[in-house]
Amino acid sequence: MGWKEAAEPVLTRMPTVTRPDGHVPFKKKLGWTAGILVLYFFLTNITLLGIHPQGGEDLFGQFRSILAGEHGSLMQVGIGPIVTASIVLQLLGGANLLGLDTDDPRDQVLYQGLQKLLVIVMTALTALPMVFAGGFLPPADVLQLGSLTFVGTQIQTLMFIQIFIGGVLILYMDEVVSKWGVGSGVGLFIIAGVSQLLVSGFLSMSDEGFFYSWYQILFTNEVTAGSWLSREGFNTLFIADGGGQLLALATTLLIFGIVVYAESVRVEIPLSHARVKGARGRFPVKLIYASVLPMILVRAVQANIQFMGQILNSQWANMPAWLGEYSDGQVVGGFFYYTAPIYSPNDWMWWTGQVPAGIEVWQIFLRISVDLTFMVIGGAIFAIFWVETTNMGPKATAQQIQNSGMQIPGFRQNAGVVEKVMERYIPQVTVIGGALVGLLAVWANMLGTIGAVDGTGLLLAVSITYKLYEEIAEEQLMEMHPMMRQMFGKG
């Protein structure tokens, strides 16, 4: 008896959101998506019951904009558990250890159940150290609820329950968006967080606000730029926090430009219909074939290494220096320093004096090269796994083309032949695209963006928004021409 038979009773009974019967009108889809978005923002504003007013330090730290959610709220874990579970599934599925055939309905049910179970387990595993290990979510001294008094571990247990319920709710919110709305909940929550930071980065009436800083530079003397050509003036206008932030503005705009451009770069394989003469089509192999979602997974691997460092640091007083040195909650040396990604210009622009004291230039370069290697190779590997597990590989696409009655002009109409042609493009494009996105993510983080959004987060948000736009365009086409729905195979 394999693991499938043993786990079947549990996996098939995981609660699922009902599927709509038939087509959901576009307006309804938008309604569901907006509803979930409003609920998400509402829940990010609900503070955990029993948390110390000081709030503590966010375990997700700089990874918050990728992992969504809000520190100290019911949405504490964000999409972290979903991402971690997805990594596990990708690795198991990519290496073909699961033995699940996602074309078989029985295995599809098992896959879905396993996925859900993993997310729930990961929610508990993420929430546990957050609540019980050190200063991430300090409990209030005493909690009085009517005649009940809670102290210490009792409050922590209460907080754990709230975070756990919130985390599972995020999973179901994602499912509602995926089944009833547009795009996916995961994408929606990332976009929501990033846009919020970006807008406040432009409009905020503090030193971080882009427009406000320029008002200060041009009309008041609070920020003095000096000569434009001097070193200090350049630094103030381009790099410094609370300065002109021109570098951040340029990076932000460039990320938008590059992502939209890269989304449109593609190799198009011509197709013609075997029976209907004149019916032609193209199969696009996009440069970013595996989409940018694998990038979340690579970043999340880095994030998990950093969480481990933070948790070790909070639990282990005499942690050896080669493993990690921390000052003010920031890692400044050892293994965990070199494996930490570059988050912002302040992490590496040693000439601005913002880099923590005592870090040598060679150390910074070592950290950049580790980050770069990790992201480029990791990006390529996860892109390959992604393509395999989402049925976008040569074999699966060849079968899809075959089934739709199309063929490549000049070749025999045979799935094997189409697969051979696909094999010339898909694997190469996947690897190049994955590595390229990895490179872009490191670059975006190094130069920083407006509102101190994590560069990778912005990259993800722009790409997801672009995909969403494409999906909405397709939806509207189908609304207007119901015949198209049949062509696209949607009931």
Q: Looking only at residues 285 through 304 of this chain, which bind other proteins when binding is defined by CB under 8 A?
A: 289-291, 293, 296
3-class secondary structure per residue, 164-213: HHHHHHHHHHHHHHHHHCCCCHHHHHHHHHHHHHHHHHHHCCCCCCHHHH
DSSP 414: -
473 makes contact with other proteins (CB under 8 A): no
In the complex with other proteins, the residue whose CB is nearer, 271 or 372, is: 271
Q: How many residues bind other proteins (CB under 8 A)?
A: 79
Q: Which stretch binds other proteins (CB under 8 A): 17-25, 124-132, 191-199, 416-424?
A: 17-25
Q: How far is CA 259 from CA 148, 386, 465, in A?
A: 54, 19, 10
Q: With respect to other proteins, which residue has the nearer C-beta, 187 or 378?
A: 187
Tell me if residue 148 falls in helix, strand or coil. strand
Of 50 and 448, nearer to other proteins (C-beta) is: 50
Question: Which window, 15-23, 223-231, 315-323, 355-363, contacts other proteins (CB under 8 A)?
Answer: 15-23
Task: Please report, as residue ranges, which positions from 170 to 189 form the binding site for other proteins (by CB under 8 A).
Answer: 171-176, 178-180, 183-187
Please report how many Cα atoms fall inside a 13 Å half-sphere around the Cα of residue 1, on the Cβ side: 4
* Shortest Å, Cβ 485 to other proteins: 10
Establish if 194 lies at the interface with other proteins (CB under 8 A): no
Q: Two tokens at 403?
A: 């089934």
Only one of the segments 112-120, 420-428, 438-446, 453-461 lies at the binding site for other proteins (rule: CB under 8 A); that segment is 112-120
Residue 171: HSE in the Cβ half-sphere, 13 Å Cα cutoff: 27
Closer CB to other proteins, residue 235 or residue 397?
397
Residues 28-67 that bind other proteins (CB under 8 A): 32, 35-36, 39, 42-43, 46-50
| Interaction residues for other proteins, span 73-102 (CB under 8 A) | 74, 79, 82-83, 86, 102
CA distance 466 to 450: 20
The answer to whether residue 390 forms part of the interface with other proteins (CB under 8 A) is: yes
Strands annotated E in 108-193? 142-145, 148-151
Whose Cβ is closer to other proteins: residue 115's or residue 213's?
Answer: 115
404 near other proteins (CB under 8 A): yes
Question: How many residues does the structure list for the chain?
Answer: 491
What whole-number distance in Å separates Cα of residue 468 and Cα of residue 450? 23
- Residues 302-341 binding other proteins (CB under 8 A) are none
**Distance of CA 316 to CAs 57, 162, 323, 325, 329, Å?**
17, 27, 11, 12, 14
Distance CA 208, CA 92 (A): 43
Q: Provide the minimum distance between the beta carbon of 116 and other proteins in the complex, in angstroms, as a whole number.
A: 8
Among 7, 88, 91, 109, binds other proteins (CB under 8 A): 109
Q: Which residues contact 373 (CB under 8 A, 6 or more apart)?
A: none
* 88 CA to centre of own chain: 15
- Near other proteins by CB under 8 A: residue from 95, 145, 205, 366: 145
Stretch of 137-145, 195-203, 347-355, 435-443 contacting other proteins, by CB under 8 A: 137-145
Chain-centroid distance, C-alpha 170 = 14
88 CB-contact burial (10 Å; exposed 0-12 / middle 13-18 / buried 19+) = middle
Of the candidate residues 54, 96, 108, 486, the single one contacting other proteins (CB under 8 A): 108
